[in-house]
Structure 1
Amino acid sequence: MTSSTLRHPAPGTPRRVLDFATVLLARNPNAMTLDGTNTWLVGAPESDERIVIDPGPSEREHLRKLREQARITGVLLTHHHPDHTEGVAEFAELTGAPVRALDPELCVAGTTPAEGFGSGPLREGETIDAAGVRLRVMATPGHTADSLCLHTEHDGVAALFSGDSILGRGTTVVAAEDGDLGSYLESLRRLTELAGSTWLLPGHGPEQPDARQAAANYLDHRRQRLDQVRAALRKLGGSGDPGEVVDPGEVVDIVYAEVDPAVRPAAESTVRAQLNHLRELGELD
């Protein structure tokens, strides 16, 4: 097995993280994507094929570099957000590789279908046998309704390709527009049941050695944030019983007081998702 020292590569420089997993960082850094989108190439060392997870943005040099690494068997998408999928159509045309995702609208038949890769929408629990590895689909809704993780084990080394469900640093956004906090908490709980030796290979940020611990940390953080929102509601309502807050911005001012102005809209959307969850729990009208 090979592994990095938890540093993140320069964009455009392929870096082998594990014997069966290489990361290529896209050139799209910003406040939401951190260093940029991680595109993963997955395949056994002895195979001349690779599966690509999340081609990333429509950036020609990034897609060309991906194509040069190996013969591409297929493409898998962790969710629909454009920083992961914008380059899909162009990459599928470059390689002829089929594209699969939970969302049928993202799937592409491809011109060079590979045995074991399958076709059409992915399904919970499905296994994909290609490029000398086996990947198991884990539906993990929350960040988006179509979010998934991919679990694999090769030569005794386990890894979770987590997309945006768990990042390599910081926390992911669960926005009211296309996310659901209740679903996300359940997805995190499920990920805490992984083996403790499972590597986390995320959609943004550096890899981490323990996916289960990362999921547990995320779960604790979300629960703490909900408690902070409850406290903010009591403060704003002037009573011990959480009440309706018309403006989520007031909650942001209390719970996310130090938020970077560049990501404040995301913080407000996060609060709306938190309030929706409290309503589902019957804690708000």
Structure 2
Amino acid sequence: MWTRDTAPPSPGVLSPATERATLVLAPNANAWTFEGTNTWVLAEPGSDVCAVIDPGPDDDAHLAAILAAAGTRRVVEVWVTHAHSDHSELARRLAAVTGATLRAANRRLSDRPFADDELIGIGALEVRALWTPGHTGDSFCFSLPAEGSVLTGDTVLGRGSPIVEPGRLGEFFASLDRLSEVLAASGSVLLPGHGPALPDPLPELERRRQARMRRLDQVAQAMADGIDEPEALVDLMYPGLAPDLRDAARISVEASIAHVHTTAHPVPT
């Protein structure tokens, strides 16, 4: 399993993470995607069918790697955690090649949206769909009750904090709460959409919450001091930020501004 203590796999190299989940790292590394998009192949041990989660970029080599990961198993489901192109671009092509059903919450990708708390069978494998808005309004995570793992898309990354759409920061905190509840009983590992697996899930979720709260406190304090323009807040909070990450920082700041305005977030003392 790829964790923070081990080297990432090379793109296209199959990397088993759990008994039921295999990682195929996509070749689309950049400042926003880290090493690339994590494509997951899910199957019950010994099954002749599987599902592919977040097929990633429309790339011939990556398509071939996904099919190699499936092996002799038939791909019967193709799912995307949310509609951003680094997760969904290959989805239609993969579904067409394999004859699989394509599912997504976003109706531009699929006319079979997930239902919150839906239990889905992939052969003998049971998967629970969890609506976890925040990063986007169409974000879903997928829990594998048999082993306690959760595929988190961009709701929880292998490191750092995801972008949260302005107006959805409250939803994001609620989604972290929900994941904590799901994982409290028998959670084993978080399998994110980018970055390494997180084998100690509950403390990781709390760290993500506290990091976001610290940023929110910083924005609230800056706004109380009269600094309320997004670009000025980016300059204040992210000194020395690489230019290709500035848009991401601005979106996160805008989400914090919206949250402060709508919740009367207290200024830290």
* Matched residue, 1:279: 261
125, 128, 134: which one aligns with 1:133: 125
Q: How far apart, CA to CA, are the structure 2 residues paired with 1:187 and 1:174?
A: 12
* Matched residue, 2:88: 85
Describe the SS at the equivalent of 1:105. coil
101, 105, 114: which one aligns with 1:102: 105
Identity %, equivalent residues: 39
73, 76, 79: which one aligns with 1:76: 79
Change (3 A) 1:5 1:266: closer
Q: 8 Å contact 1:51–1:131 — kept in the other structure?
A: no
Does residue 1:211 correspond to 2:201, yes or no?
A: yes
Q: Which has the larger radius of gyration?
A: 1
Describe the SS at the equivalent of 2:219. helix
Q: 8 Å contact 1:73–1:131 — kept in the other structure?
A: no
Q: 8 Å contact 2:163–2:252 — kept in the other structure?
A: yes
1:104 positional shift = 2.3
Describe the SS at the equivalent of 1:253. helix
Higher RCO, 1 vs 2 (CA within 8 Å, ≥6 residues apart): 2
Q: How far apart, CA to CA, are the structure 2 residues paired with 1:19 and 1:52?
A: 15
Describe the SS at the equivalent of 1:213. helix
Describe the SS at the equivalent of 1:236. coil
Deviations 1:129-185 (A, max 9, x none): 11321100110000000001000122xx21000000001111111143xx6111111
* Matched residue, 2:172: 184
Partner AA of 2:110 in structure 1: C
Describe the SS at the equivalent of 1:192. helix
Which consecutive segments of 4 or more residues in structure 1 shift more than 4 A? 3-6
153, 176, 179: which one aligns with 1:163: 153
Partner AA of 1:144 in structure 2: T
RMSD: 1.7
1:192 positional shift = 1.9
Tell me the number of residue pairs that the alignment of Structure 1 and Structure 2 aligns. Answer: 259
Q: 8 Å contact 1:168–1:204 — kept in the other structure?
A: yes
Q: How far apart, CA to CA, are the structure 2 residues paired with 1:225 and 1:164?
A: 18
Q: 8 Å contact 1:189–1:216 — kept in the other structure?
A: no
* Matched residue, 1:115: none
* Matched residue, 1:142: 134
Does residue 1:232 correspond to 2:214, yes or no?
A: no
Describe the SS at the equivalent of 2:216. helix
Q: How far apart, CA to CA, are the structure 2 residues paired with 1:254 and 1:225?
A: 12
Describe the SS at the equivalent of 1:104. coil
1:4 positional shift = 4.9
Partner AA of 1:253 in structure 2: D
1:26 positional shift = 0.3
* TM-score in terms of structure 2 length: 0.91
Q: 8 Å contact 1:175–1:266 — kept in the other structure?
A: no
Q: How far apart, CA to CA, are the structure 1 residues paired with 2:196 and 2:123?
A: 24
* Matched residue, 2:236: 254
* TM-score in terms of structure 1 length: 0.86
1:255 positional shift = 1.5
Deviations 1:202-246 (A, max 9, x none): 000011102222211111111111111112223336xxxxxxx2x
1:69 positional shift = 2.7
1:283 positional shift = 5.4
Structure 2: where are the runs of 5+ without partners?
A: none
Q: How far apart, CA to CA, are the structure 1 residues paired with 2:3 and 2:37?
A: 19
1:269 positional shift = 1.5
Q: 8 Å contact 2:49–2:76 — kept in the other structure?
A: yes
* Matched residue, 1:200: 190
Deviations 1:14-67 (A, max 9, x none): 111111110000000000000000000001121121110011000011012212
